[in-house]
Amino acid sequence: LGGKHIIGAPGCARSPKENGFDWVLDRLIAGLDVTARDIAGMGVGGLLMEIPTRPQPREPLPAKSQLKIGIVLLAAGRSSRMGGPNKLLALFDGKPLVYRTAERALGSKASRTVVVTGHQRERVRAALAGLDVTFAHNPDFTDGLSTSLKAGIAYLPEDSAGVMIVLGDMPDITSHDLDRLIDAFRKGGGNAVVRASHDGKRGNPVLLPRSLFPAIAHLEGDTGARHLVETEGLDVIDVEIGAAASVDVDTREALEGAGGVLQD
């Protein structure tokens, strides 16, 4: 205006940190022209640079392949249909059943394995000696399955994208089976429920996304997460893993038929 430059100062002009406005002033003071091409060349990789003073800095979302999954292994039950012995302590190939299951959970891609104890807490812990698991004792285990789910989830890291619920009495489940569920969950973006299945019938384990955690916190009694899967309207991915999805050992006959030996 009248041979003078008019500069419209942006908000960053108030910042004490060097920024693009300072670069424009440097050129003007040096008697250099400031063209649109010059300003474009001041960009950082074509994108705006993040400022450290931002109240909530943007952080990159984890890649789907990096979504962390925790396992909650349920080992609090009383094995009431066994007539006394704890089925989780039955020996399979010389190892307690709960050890065998926990070992396979640890061999999977899960980031943490939480074992929920209740009935015969000390004996179950002793059976898992030497394994890198986290214990979550549930003093209210007699009040039903929901209490164990809540106790286990409370011990998962805050950055867990989901939780896989693994029953302690599934002798045929392998680490590979668990990994297939985790892979399907990650491929689905971490928003779907993933269930193991056998011949088209749903079984166990089941992997639940973090979005269901608040609903799980309100479960009561002997209610599991199955009805949440049906009522929350989430996508469900069934993964065929074979008979392992449906083999559990709730009775003496089933346990012995699966190769287990009960211990007093």
Q: Give the angle subtended at the CA of 161 by the CAs of 68 and 71, to the nearest 5°.
A: 65
pLDDT of residue 44: 55
CA–CA separation, 90 and 83 (whole Å): 13
Got the DSSP string for 7-76?
Answer: ----GGGG-SS--HHHHHHHHHHTT----HHHHHTTSBTTBPPPPTT-SS---PPPPGGG-EEEEEEEE-
Query: Which residues make beta-bridge pairs with 114?
Result: 72, 134
pLDDT averaged over 10-residue windows placed end to end, the chain, 264 residues: 75 72 82 79 57 54 79 93 88 97 98 98 97 98 95 96 96 97 96 95 96 93 82 91 92 92 90
Identify residue 31 by its one-letter amino acid code.
G
What is the pLDDT at residue 61? 54
Q: Which strand (E) or helix (H) includes residue 96?
A: strand 95-96
Q: Are 102 and 124 in contact (CB under 8 A)?
A: no
pLDDT of residue 88: 96
All structural domains of the chain: 17-59 (no CATH), 64-257 (3.90.550.10)
Running DSSP on this structure, what letter comes out for residue 223?
-
**Residue 20, token pair as written in the block:** 């693009």
Identify the pLDDT of residue 58: 55
Instruction: Return d(Cα 181, Cα 175) in angstroms, integer.
Output: 10
In 3D space, the residue among 86, 92, 137, 143 whose CA is nearest the CA of residue 116 turns out to be 137
DSSP-derived secondary structure for 161-205 = EEEEEEETT-TT--HHHHHHHHHHHHHTTT-SEEEEEETTEEEEE
- Cα 235 to its chain centre, rounded Å, is 17
- What is the residue type of 220? E
